[in-house]
Amino acid sequence: MSGNEYRSGVQSELIPKLEPLFAYIPFLKQKEGANTRMLLEGDDAPKDSLPVPVYDSTVLKFVKEAQKTGLFTRNYIYAYKKMNIYSPRDERLAVSGAKFGDIDGVIAIMAKYILGGQTRGVMWAEAVEEGIWLHCLLKLKELLEMYDHPLA
């Protein structure tokens, strides 16, 4: 398989799955650095009860849309080891320096926050506030457009 055939195959698989997520780029740009969650605490709640995080509805829609793609699996851990990612700084460096062959790594970084947020609620807010999802989507869009027509 030539490089062009491989690239075309990756593009034809990923573009239809990722295009719905690209629609959230303006929202993610707007919310970068802003608080996207509140804690729901009742006045009558016992002092030892846990506060429940409440998220911006668009964040929840984004997560649901991302889960529908089937791209984000628990295998992100192996990509992290392969790419020597151990900190948020390493994540940012991996995304900013990603090439076409590193698309799986960028997807793995998104997966960590999409899947991790299901059990650690703060991760979805971190991904929005720190711009992690935004920078991953921008990089994926750039890499997929590089050899094709512009996307959404």
Return the SS3 of 39. Answer: strand
More confident residue, 122 or 37: 122
CA-nearest of 134, 141, 142, 138 to 113 is: 134
Determine the pLDDT at residue 57: 87
Our CA dihedral for 83, 84, 90, 96, rounded to 10 degrees, sits at: -20
Tens digit of each residue's pLDDT (9 = 90 or more) over 68-107: 999 998 999 999 999 999 998 999 999 999 999 899 999 9
Mean pLDDT over the full length of the chain: 86
If pLDDT is split at 50, 70 and 90, which confidence band does 7 have? confident
- Asked whether residue 50 carries a pLDDT value surpassing 70, the answer given is no
If pLDDT is split at 50, 70 and 90, which confidence band does 120 have? confident
Tens digit of each residue's pLDDT (9 = 90 or more) over 25-36: 999 999 887 777
Determine the pLDDT at residue 11: 87
Interatomic CA distance for residues 110 and 59, integer angstroms: 13
More confident residue, 5 or 68: 68
Class of residue 10 by CB neighbours under 10 A (exposed 0-12, middle 13-18, buried 19+): middle
